[in-house]
Structure 1
Amino acid sequence: MRPEGMVLEESPEAFFARFQAYALEVHLFPEPWGSPLLEVLVAGQLVYAFDRGAPPAPTGRVRALLHGLVREARPLEGDPFLERKGPVYRLGGRARPLGEGFYLLEGPIPLLVHGETPLPERAEVLLWPPLMLFRE
């Protein structure tokens, strides 16, 4: 459980600036009418992410970070993978520690994650919804 008052980000802009070295080039599709989620094509995978940038969201190629909060984690048995069931993502890959509970999960898509407990070197994680997108 996160300690009371612990903040993962000061602002979307500061969060992107802090982790911009791990930003990816992604393709954003037009924002669906009335939906807070964007369709994002990254590394040949289509994911849905909550846009943390200033509106309106651009369309086309942008540099962005995909970020998720770890709900459950365990050692990865098998190959890296990505699956979605409704708003929930489960994925596995190599977890590279970045400090303060942040990891770069290198699976089918590189994803910045934050976990309350240390992740194994090869991790399978279940994320809390929604997956978030921070952009330049």
Structure 2
Amino acid sequence: MGWIEESPEAFLARFRAHTVEAHLFPEPWGSPLLEVMVQGQILYAFDRGTPPAPTGTARVLLHGVVRQAKPLEGEAFLRREGASYRLGGQARPLGDGFYLLQAPVSVVVFAETPLPEEAEVLLWPPLMLFRG
């Protein structure tokens, strides 16, 4: 698969155009997982930013690595399955195996094989959150 990112800062800089506005809830002391609300959806994401995480509104980049993919049948969706997320929506290629998956929440995903234009993906845990 090669390297997906050089550093959290470089990754955020590369995909900054795909950040979304989110509300960050108070960080549980010592936990790398953040509870975040994005477009009305509550998500749990691994914080890739420098601690401590701010509370309140912030621009964030959500990122996941595709474990399984298939053509989307039906409407765009997002749901949690255990520690993973399954989402479906329009997949826009960003180059080098990266896609902007426009589901109810926009997520930059990395896939080892090309995604269909309308894709359903299961992500490897954890969902990652980059913040500036």
TM category (shorter chain) comes to over 0.9
Q: Deviations over 1:55-98 (max 9, x none)?
A: 11111011110000000000000000111022110000000000
Unaligned runs of 5+ in 2: none
Q: How many residue pairs are counted as aligned between the two chains?
A: 132
SS in 2 for 1:130: strand
Find the partner of 2:47 among 44, 51, 54: 51
User: Could you list the runs of 4 or more consecutive aligned residues of structure 1 that deviate by over 2 angstroms after TM superposition?
Assistant: none
SS at match of 1:57: coil
For 1:55 and 1:37, the matched residues in 2 are separated by: 11
Selected match of 2:21 from 25, 30, 42: 25
Q: TM-score, normalised by structure 2?
A: 0.98
The aligned residue for residue 130 of structure 1 is 126
Aligned-CA RMSD value: 0.7
- Counterpart in 2 of 1:65? 61
Using the size of structure 1 for normalisation, the TM-score is 0.95
d(CA) in 2 for partners of 1:39, 1:79 = 25
The letter for the 2-side match of 1:105 is L
Residue 18 of structure 1 aligns to a residue in which SS? helix
Q: Deviations over 1:22-45 (max 9, x none)?
A: 011111000013321000100100
Whole-Å Cα distance in 2 between the matches of residues 23 and 33 of structure 1?
25
65, 78, 84: which one pairs with 1:82? 78
1:110 to 106, 116, 124: 106
- C-alpha separation in 2, matches of 1:11 and 1:62: 20
Sequence identity (%):
70
